[in-house]
Amino acid sequence: MPVILDWCDAGAWMHGDYPPALLHPPPEDALREWVVSTRVNRAGAGDDDPALIEAVEPA
């Protein structure tokens, strides 16, 4: 489960000041997921190709 840390709490988080109190689940509409090309993370596959992050139909 991703957790969002408010920027204003970053210093306290880094110093270890009661970390559980600083963690909050993300709002429902804050995160999305979608299937991307299988070329993602493949070395030499044209890493600068913007099409790598476009949604594709699941196989």
8-57 pLDDT, tens digit per residue, is: 888 888 888 777 778 877 778 878 888 887 777 777 756 678 888 888 88
Whether residue 59 has pLDDT greater than 80: no
Q: What are phi and psi of 4, to 5 degrees?
A: -105, 130
**Is the residue at 21 inside a domain?**
yes
**Is the residue at 38 inside a domain?**
yes
Q: What is the pLDDT of residue 41?
A: 74
- C-alpha 39/C-alpha 49 separation (Å) is 10
The total number of structural domains that make up the chain: 1
Within 10 angstroms of residue 29's Cβ, the number of other Cβ atoms is 6
Q: What is the pLDDT of residue 31?
A: 80
Q: What is the pLDDT of residue 46?
A: 67
**Is the residue at 15 inside a domain?**
yes
**Is the residue at 19 inside a domain?**
yes
**Inter-CA distances, 43 with 1, 39, 40, 48, Å:** 28, 8, 9, 11
**Is the residue at 23 inside a domain?**
yes
Q: What is the pLDDT of residue 1?
A: 62
- C-alpha 16/C-alpha 10 separation (Å) is 10
Separate counts of helices (H) and strands (E) for the chain? 2, 0
